[in-house]
Amino acid sequence: MPRLNVNIDHVATVRQSRRGVEPDPVFAAYLAELAGAEGIVVHLREDRRHIQDRDLKILRQTVKTKLNMEMAPIEEIVEIAIDIRPEMVTLVPERREEITTEGGLNILAHPETIAGAVNKIKKKGLFVSLFIDPNSEQIKAAKNTGADMVEIHTGLYAEAKNIEEKIEELKKIENSVEASLKLGLRVSAGHGLNYINVRRISQIRGVEELNIGHSIIARSVIVGIEKAVKEMLELCR
Ligand code: PXP
């Protein structure tokens, strides 16, 4: 069974909608670990739309499992990662207009930039993963950067509109896991995984970890609302 890493970015998204102090992703990380998460994932974006520098600093002190810092391969953020020293850095592409990470890194198009960032981070003794699409050329390019791991993008599988597409995307992911392992890369997977589609991915041999955010935070709101309303009613009475 793969380890589950919980991405808590969207706890910060709710907080930032009021630019306030709650809900605090630090508390969410603590409770996720208590529930069995084996890692906490946060994406420090250049535009700081959800996770803030303060979150990362406190999480570095409080996360007891493993902190996986997602980030774009850009100078400012690379320096922050080197300073924070998460157990793992995951390099992802980033575009200001995007709603969420839209696909894997195009290592073939930007080999030097990505290898440069990997090299700089690894030189400081940090573990590096690259978020890539399930594509054999990207896997080979990932290996050439010197990265330790690849996170296979499961977004297209998650969004497949019919069973044929789903099977096709699943096959691509399975082949990519096998190809990555053959090259000596460690493998994780994530993006778009939810309570319905996760099982097939968690059954793929060799996938060490799953990184899941949106569906868990979305479900937390639904399963928690009854208790929250009852607590408020108690106070009103
Ligand atoms: N992996 C990576 C690289 C991501 O960028 C994200 C989204 O932040 C996830 C996994 C989690 O995706 P989701 O929120 O759809 O579960």
pLDDT of residue 96: 72
pLDDT of residue 102: 76
Indicate the number of domains in the chain. 1
User: What integer is the mean pLDDT of 157-182?
Assistant: 98
Both tokens of 50, joined, read 């959800």
User: What integer is the mean pLDDT of 12-30?
Assistant: 98
Q: Is the pTM of this model over 0.75?
A: yes
Query: Tell me: the pLDDT tens digits for 82-126?
Result: 999 999 999 999 987 777 777 999 999 999 999 999 999 999 999
Q: Residue 152 is part of which domain span?
A: 3-236
pLDDT of residue 98: 72
- Report CA(41)–ligand 1 centroid distance (Å): 9
Report which ligand 1 atom has the smallest distance to the Cα of 43.
8
User: What integer is the mean pLDDT of 210-222?
Assistant: 98
Which one, of 173, 163, 166, lies nearest residue 207 by Cα? 173
**CATH at residue 67:** 3.20.20.70
The catalytic residues are 43, 70, 191
- Report CA(230)–ligand 1 centroid distance (Å): 32
Pocket lined around ligand 1, Cβ cut-off 6 Å: 7, 9, 43, 70, 90, 92, 100-101, 131, 151, 190-193, 211-215
- Report CA(120)–ligand 1 centroid distance (Å): 24
Quote the distance between the C-alpha of residue 197 and its chain's center: 17
Report which ligand 1 atom has the smallest distance to the Cα of 158.
15
pLDDT of residue 97: 72
Query: How far is it, in rounded angstroms, from Cα 237 to Cα 85?
Result: 48
- Report CA(56)–ligand 1 centroid distance (Å): 17
Query: Tell me: the pLDDT tens digits for 183-209?
Result: 999 999 999 999 999 999 999 999 999
Query: Tell me: the pLDDT tens digits for 114-161?
Result: 999 999 999 999 999 999 999 999 999 999 999 999 999 999 999 999
User: What integer is the mean pLDDT of 204-230?
Assistant: 98
